[in-house]
Structure 1
């Protein structure tokens, strides 16, 4: 099953220009990095894909499921950039609460929370209050909360923002371990953030897709002679002038 946006148009108000206009996008399997400058429409794309907001025109589906269906919202999970610690709740309680909000009964949510925390390597922090967790740990709690109801698609909005290099490395390894059975779409401002480790790379600018393909086809846009460690930056810089 595939998450797909078809001919979607969305504006934040009637008087504002559409952020996405007649926009179509099909999410491939595995890990896809979504690159683009500020205002490109990345967050809007993720919100529409997660059915957080609905397009004025067009459709969003996961296989045969429309975005208005409850099974769609159970299969597709969205993690915003800012994860708010819930005062008084432990990591496991936080994750279980999200499962309950998604329609799970309390006992199932409690058991699933333990499994979800194990998937993000936070079993040892299950009983720690979320207000005592580090920023990187709190983001992993956010991923666990997105996975607790057995989501098939994970949409991440700038999940590595503010992380130090070690936290980024842990988070990258976590995502790689998830993509055997979960499709991940992760937006970022950091052009090198997973671009050379992702299965696919999509580049968005001014509400239009400039590139959507494998990581190798993305990196092939880098000019000849680009240093190996700067291929992602070179490819990104080569693509953007097409819209400027």
Structure 2
């Protein structure tokens, strides 16, 4: 399924400047990293793509479904930047509850919750109340909740915040495995999250796309003299500076 944003403009208040202006974007298959500084509009773009908010102008579609169709969210999973604990629910109950909200039966949601927690190395904490989890653990539960109903599109807003290096490595492995099954768009302001696994990169600046293309094309913007380990950072800096001119 293809997720497309077409000439989308969005403002949180009608009298305020638009956060996004005439934004058009088609999510390619595989894993796409959405880069940009804080305040660039990455979260707003993901909210539009997830159908959480509707554009003031323009359209968001998943094949023939628009984001105003309630069936749209059955095919799109979204993990927000802030994952809020539900003190009365364990990790597995939390993930299963999200699956149920997405239209799964209670039994199917309960079974799939265990599988989703296993994928993010959190099954051993399945009976722990979410209010007792660390910040990194809670974010991994949030990722599991996004995975539970096996959506075709996975939207992740700063998912690696609060994770230690080993957890980030596990998370990248999970994304690499999933990228052959679903389209993934993951936002971050940290170019280290690009790694070698991403298939595509999109860069946002001031509510507009400064770049959208393959990872190889993105890295090609780095100056020739840059060391290999610094290419992503250098490419991002070069694109940001050229957009500001």
TM-score range relative to shorter protein: over 0.9
> Retained in 2: the 8 A contact 1:79–1:156?
yes
CA distance in 1, matches of 2:60, 2:226: 38
Provide the alpha-carbon RMSD of the alignment.
1.4
Mean CA deviation greater in 17-26 or 124-133: 124-133
| Structure 1 equivalent of residue 135 of structure 2 | 135
Unaligned runs of 5+ residues in structure 1 are none
Q: What is the Cα deviation at residue 110 of structure 1? A: 1.4
CA distance in 2, matches of 1:133, 1:12: 32
> Retained in 1: the 8 A contact 2:194–2:232?
no
Q: What is the Cα deviation at residue 134 of structure 1? A: 3.0
| Structure 1 equivalent of residue 174 of structure 2 | 174
CA distance in 2, matches of 1:196, 1:220: 14
Q: Are 2:61 and 1:64 equivalent residues in the alignment?
A: no
CA distance in 2, matches of 1:122, 1:103: 23
> Retained in 2: the 8 A contact 1:33–1:195?
no
Q: Are 2:88 and 1:51 equivalent residues in the alignment?
A: no
Q: How does 1:199-214 map to 2 (within 5 A)?
A: 199-214=199-214
> Retained in 2: the 8 A contact 1:155–1:184?
yes
Deviation string for 1:119-151 (max 9, x for gaps)?
323222222222233332221211111121221
CA distance in 2, matches of 1:195, 1:121: 21
Q: Are 2:42 and 1:42 equivalent residues in the alignment?
A: yes
CA distance in 1, matches of 2:68, 2:129: 34
Deviation string for 1:80-115 (max 9, x for gaps)?
111122113111100111112222232222122122
Give the match's secondary structure for 2:97.
helix
Q: Are 2:8 and 1:19 equivalent residues in the alignment?
A: no
| Structure 2 equivalent of residue 108 of structure 1 | 108
CA distance in 2, matches of 1:206, 1:82: 22
The 3 A distance-change label for structure 1 pair 176 and 110 is same
Deviating 4+ runs (over 3 angstroms): none
Q: What is the Cα deviation at residue 156 of structure 1? A: 0.7
Q: What is the Cα deviation at residue 228 of structure 1? A: 0.8
CA distance in 1, matches of 2:116, 2:11: 35
> Retained in 2: the 8 A contact 1:151–1:182?
yes
Give the match's secondary structure for 1:192.
helix
CA distance in 2, matches of 1:127, 1:178: 25
Report how many residues are paired: 244
Q: TM-score, normalised by structure 2?
A: 0.95
